[in-house]
Amino acid sequence: MNAYHSLNSIQNAIKAGEISCLSLTQSYIKNIDSNKNLNAFIEVFTDEAIQRARQIDKKIRNGTAGKLAGMVIGIKDNICFKNHKVTASSKILEGFESLYNATVVERILAEDAIILGRLNCDEFAMGSANENTIYGPTKNPVNTKKVTGGSSGGSAAAVAANLCLAALGSDTGGSIRQPASFCGTIGIKPTYSRVSRYGLIAFASSFDQIGPITNDIEDAAIILEVIAGSDKYDSTSSLKKVEQYSGRLKNNNPKRIAVISECLQKEGLDKEINLAIINQIEKLKQKGHQVEEVTFPYLDYLVPTYYVISTAEASSNLARFDGVHYGYRSEKSDNTESTYLITRTEGFGKEVQRRIMLGTFVLSAGYHDAYYTKAQKMRRIIQDKTKEILSEYDFILTPTTPKTAFDLGLEQKDPVVMYLEDIFTVLANLSGNPAISLPLNQHSNGLPFGTQLIAKPFHEKELLSFSRNLMNSL
């Protein structure tokens, strides 16, 4: 069967009688089986997906199918799907089955998407390599000796390897865009509050957002159109009306684009990535866009600010996993205190433990004002500066990542080295702005790397439209 890279091509093929949802689903299941070495899917809902494909085929014949009919999609293992296991790739949730659907799951099912299975990720979405997982690391389909990026590495790898048409991931500090960059796919983080977080296992509640990973801009647009919007189960979700993103992506008007000069001058930025961004700037200028460098003096404060606040929120959010309510419980414990202590010690991986301890520290008496309060003040300064730049420009353009995908099993003695992989992506999470990574580039080492665009809050339509132009012209 042909490798389909867009929902439109699939739906046209179904109309032409060339394929059916059933044959398409079976083809993806076969691909997953042939690419087990990638370790992208940790569970495939084979029988259920095939049964649903038959149902969708019937709805297509009856003319009652939803707008996602023909879309076979995987979901990250921190998104709840009723009566299915969800573990956030952690031993602490071993054997747990969700009692309800995440709002995003409800919405894609209502539009007749076919959910194929659960995708590997870093434990509780904490990581930049998809190696912090009880299921073993996910391998990059472009080069299986390299990481996929994280934490939505399974989602990006599955889409890049044609194991499903699209995937849902979550982005707390770059966890959709960084793996999209490493694997050569499109990844979008919506405006904070644009998509309901109900049913997403929380890492850092003021940062987390669910978004799509695809090979096609139009697919990203239609998925976002379906999952976005207010939700009575998430009080932080925006009441702002969702625009029609799909089918309205043609906008060739000249844009004003800001390029953060500190990003291009950042020590550690790969020379080829730097040169590629400079070349893209020149091409944009030639096409009539206004592209100017701006200064952002807080670049070196982004990662420290993010990790102080996000670990504090993680410390609070992960307190519920205690061996008492649900999930894993150590058999070595013999009283309440030891149940908490031993269960959490055995159930959480080293990186999650590190972040819980750091978050607990910055919230503790005597250190709260010195770290957490100061980080929140810094976050406001970052938000104000971002708003100031975007009051004069339509988009901010940066590299998505400072480097291409690095080697699997690369042991970092200093975790800060790994944290700095988020240097360009974390800005959009701190400010709450929508951002996208586009697979516009290839390094001489054969690996892809992305270009990132950041837009004004709730300007996803403009972001997707301009991204489509870039994908077609650069």
How far is the C-alpha of 344 from the C-alpha of 333, rounded, in Å? 11
Q: Give the residues across from 209 on adjacent strands.
A: 171
Is the CB of residue 394 less than 8 Å from the CB of residue 284? Answer: no
| 3-state class (DSSP) for residue 375 | helix
205 counts as catalytic: no
Catalytic residue among 6, 128, 175, 238: 175
CB atoms within 10 A of CB 35: 19
Question: How is residue 264 written in tokens?
Answer: 């291009």
Distance of CA 467 to the CA centre of its chain: 17
Catalytic residue among 76, 139, 255, 266: 76
Question: How is residue 113 written in tokens?
Answer: 């998407």
Is the CB of residue 436 less than 8 Å from the CB of residue 452? Answer: yes
How far is the C-alpha of 393 from the C-alpha of 414, rounded, in Å? 37
- Contacts of residue 440, defined as CB under 8 A and 6 or more positions apart, other chains included, come to 276, 280, 450, 451, 470, 471, 474
How far is the C-alpha of 303 from the C-alpha of 426, rounded, in Å? 7
Q: Give the residues across from 257 on adjacent strands.
A: 291, 395
Is the CB of residue 425 less than 8 Å from the CB of residue 176? Answer: no
CB atoms within 10 A of CB 263: 22
Q: Pick the closest to residue 182 from 437, 382, 456, 3 (CA basis).
A: 437
Catalytic residue among 128, 151, 152, 315: 151
Question: How is residue 436 written in tokens?
Answer: 């996208």
374 counts as catalytic: no
CB atoms within 10 A of CB 410: 12
| 3-state class (DSSP) for residue 108 | helix
91 counts as catalytic: no
**HSE-up of residue 344 (Cα within 13 Å, Cβ side):** 19
Question: How is residue 208 written in tokens?
Answer: 């987390």
Is the CB of residue 280 less than 8 Å from the CB of residue 272? Answer: no
H/E element holding 314? helix 299-317
The set of catalytic residues is 76, 151, 175
